[in-house]
Amino acid sequence: MTPVETINNLLVGTTLTAHCKSKNDDLRIQHITRSWGFSFEPSIPGRTLFFCSFAWSGQIQWFDIYVQGRDQNFCTQCKWKISPNDPCMLN
C-alpha cells in the first residue's frame, strides 16, 4: 500500500477543503484542520494518478497529488504540505 498524507500549512484556524479522486476512486470532500491521508495499491502498468482540488478562503487549486511515474521511486509515504503558494512534497 502507498500512503499519501496532506498537511494543512495554511494560517492557523483556516480549514483546507480537499476533494481527491482517481479514475476509479472518489475520496469525497474532506475538511482538513491539521492533516488527512489515504492509502492505495498502485496499478501494475504504472498509471496510477490521484488528483485533488484544494480550497480555502476563496481560493481553489488543483494538483496531481500522486503520479505513479513521477512518485513511485521517490516516496514510500508521500507527505504534502499545502501552503498558500503551492503544495510541497516532504521527503
In this structure, the number of other CB atoms found within 10 A of the CB of residue 20 comes to 22
Q: Where exactly are the structural domains of the chain? A: 2-90
pLDDT tens profile 18-68: 999 999 999 999 999 999 999 999 888 889 999 999 999 999 999 999 999
pLDDT tens profile 6-18: 999 999 999 999 9
Q: Does the pTM of the predicted model rise above 0.85?
A: yes
d(CA 65, CA 68): 10
SS (H, E, C) the chain: CEEEEEEECCCCCCCEEEEEECCCCEEEEEEECCEEEEEECCCCCCCCEEEEEEEECCEEEEEEEEEHHHHCCCCCCEEEEECCCCEEEEC
CATH class of 2-90: mainly beta
Q: How far is CA 83 from the centre of its chain?
A: 12
